[in-house]
Amino acid sequence: MRMRRSVLLALGLAGMMVSAACGGGGSGTSGGARDSGGTVTLDWEMWAGSEDEKAQLDHLAALVTRKHPTIKVNLRTAPFNDYFTKLQTEFAAGKQPCVVSMQSLRLGAYADLLEPLDGKTDTQGFAPAALETLKLGGKQLALPYDLASMLLYYNKDAFAEAGVAEPKNGWTVADFEQAAKKLSTGGKAGFGMSFADLHSLSLMLSYNGAQPVTPDVRLQFDSAPMVDALTWYAGLAASKAALVPASSSDVGWGETQFVNGNAMMAVDGSWNIGSAVKDATFAVGFAPLPAGSGGSKTYLAASGFGVAKGCPYPQEAAKAVSVLAGPDAQAYLAGQGRSFPSRTDQQATYEEFLVKQDPRNAEAVRGAIASLKEGLAGGVPLFTTKNWDSVGKLMAQYLIQVYTGDQSPKSALGTIQQQSARGQ
């Protein structure tokens, strides 16, 4: 009898601990707190890969308190690869931060969880394209701190050796194809292919204006222009002018093969200008994407800061976001070489950082920034659906089959469209 009571006691204890562990998340608001002195402390979640990056972000947090002494920002970080997993878990548990760092490609998944900022923040001084990129359904969901376009990276040494004229503004798709074929010799390929969204879709967009997502954010992978564009893109592999990714898990294939010297051209984002110039053992050149029927085009990407719905101090959070994406913060980040600023006035600072970092390649860097700005003119935001993660996975699995010739473009795009219809 006594034994049974002890067992009951143990079970009761276990039960209490279980309910204590589960009940913790329930207590009302999260992401911010006001102390007795009236100072509001806001949580801010951001990706950071090193102590240096963390220090930069701490500096931004301090800028907020300098401008608004009654607002404090409490920085929480996660490595980029874990950031969105952590963020969605926090939202699911009701423990989300007030200030959320957001990437344009993830906007679709988080649109319903972010407070629209229209009318609550000052949007003066931003490049219009950057603001546009962080809008969805006409609502400004985050303020951008950077801006990126896709560029054609090319191996200047290989072009000189093969006697092929280097890409320049106005370079057409036909020029690009011809160069890729001529550069494919001795086991090297003219172009490194990709199935990553920005990398592959930007070149298809430039080819014939094909877009996989409609302006009202519905998927249209199986539309006729997409089929034509993919047929052309996959044709680069069929004519042995391009390297096909070795597996569906090689998300960064084209740009990696380029820097390794196995592919003479690749499409990559402007965020890698500095690292490509530094890491490559050859001279790197940059150009806008080759122009198709409608001129050179590219998708744009941006990262920025938004306010979580349910934040108990939305006004303070909007103020904090304005400072974090403000001129002082961007001038500071540009000076640290973080990324190309979304504010036009601060963009030159970033260019100077890259030039100073590697003076021998000053010309290449200036060319890259010029191409980037050129890209912004023909730039289009890539709007993403709620299930864009799944779409990306399907692109990796099915586009590679088109590149290897195992599946027709029409059938692969049909599969992607059909399988991602649920949950868009």
Partner 1 sequence: MKPRTTEQWSALGFVTPSVLGLGLFTLFPVGAAVVMSFFAWPMLGTREFVGLENFRYLLGEDPDFLTALRNTFVFTGLYVPLNLLLALGLAFWINRSRWARLWRVLFFVPAITPMVANAVIWKLLFQAVGGEPNLLADGRTALLAVVAMSVWQGFGYNMIVFSAAVNEMSPSVLEAASLDGATGLRRLVSVQLPLISPALFFAATMTMINALQVFTQPYILTAGGPGNATETLVMNVYQAGFESRDLGLAAAGAWLLFAIILVVTAVQFLGQKRWVHYES
Q: Which residues bind partner 1 (CB under 8 A)?
A: 2-3, 6, 9-10, 13-14, 17-18, 21, 85, 88-89, 91-92, 109-110, 112-113, 244-249, 387, 389-390, 393, 396-398, 400-401, 403-407, 415, 418-419, 423
Q: Report, in Å, the least distance between residue 387 CB and partner 1.
A: 6
**If you compute the radius of gyration of the chain from its CA atoms, what whole number of angstroms results?**
24
Q: Which two tokens stand for residue 57?
A: 């972000």
Task: Please identify, using beta-carbon distances, which residue of 46 and 193 lies nearer to partner 1.
Answer: 193
Place of tokens 């009761």: 12
What is the number of other CB atoms lying within 10 angstroms of the CB of residue 418? 13
413-415-416-418 Cα dihedral, nearest 10 degrees: 120
Task: Please identify, using beta-carbon distances, which residue of 111 and 205 lies nearer to partner 1.
Answer: 111
Task: Please identify, using beta-carbon distances, which residue of 318 and 391 lies nearer to partner 1.
Answer: 391
- Residues 6 or more apart whose Cβ sits within 8 Å of residue 375: 149, 150, 151, 270, 288, 289, 296, 298, 300
Q: Report, in Å, the least distance between residue 207 CB and partner 1.
A: 23
Q: What DSSP letter does each residue of 338-388 carry, written as one string? A: ---BSBGGGHHHHHHHHHHH-GGGHHHHHHHHHHHHHHHHTEEE----TTH
Task: Please identify, using beta-carbon distances, which residue of 36 and 247 lies nearer to partner 1.
Answer: 247
Q: Report, in Å, the least distance between residue 164 CB and partner 1.
A: 24
Q: Which two tokens stand for residue 284?
A: 């790197």
Task: Please identify, using beta-carbon distances, which residue of 12 and 170 lies nearer to partner 1.
Answer: 12
| 298-301 vs 139-140, strand pairing mode | unpaired
Q: Report, in Å, the least distance between residue 38 CB and partner 1.
A: 32
DSSP 404: T
Task: Please identify, using beta-carbon distances, which residue of 17 and 377 lies nearer to partner 1.
Answer: 17
CA distance from start to end of the chain: 59
Q: Report, in Å, the least distance between residue 243 CB and partner 1.
A: 10
Task: Please identify, using beta-carbon distances, which residue of 249 and 315 lies nearer to partner 1.
Answer: 249
> Do residues 75 and 46 touch, judged by C-beta distance below 8 A?
yes
Task: Please identify, using beta-carbon distances, which residue of 91 and 332 lies nearer to partner 1.
Answer: 91
Q: Report, in Å, the least distance between residue 393 CB and partner 1.
A: 6
Q: Report, in Å, the least distance between residue 220 CB and partner 1.
A: 19
- Residues 6 or more apart whose Cβ sits within 8 Å of residue 174: none
Task: Please identify, using beta-carbon distances, which residue of 363 and 406 lies nearer to partner 1.
Answer: 406
DSSP 335: H
Q: Report, in Å, the least distance between residue 123 CB and partner 1.
A: 27
Please name every residue paired with 100 in a beta bridge, in sequence order, or none if there are none: 45, 306
Q: Report, in Å, the least distance between residue 181 CB and partner 1.
A: 17
What are the two backbone dihedrals, phi and then psi, of residue 79, each rounded to the nearest 5 degrees? -60, 150
Place of tokens 């304005």: 322
- Identity of the residue numbered 208: N
Scored b (16 or more CB within 10 A) or e, 181-213 reads bbbbeeeebbbbbbbbbbbbbbbbbbbbebbbb
Nearest to 92 by CA among 74, 116, 110, 73: 110
Q: Report, in Å, the least distance between residue 404 CB and partner 1.
A: 4
| E runs forming strands in 330-399 | 379-381
Task: Please identify, using beta-carbon distances, which residue of 223 and 419 lies nearer to partner 1.
Answer: 419
CA pair distance 206, 63, nearest whole angstrom = 40
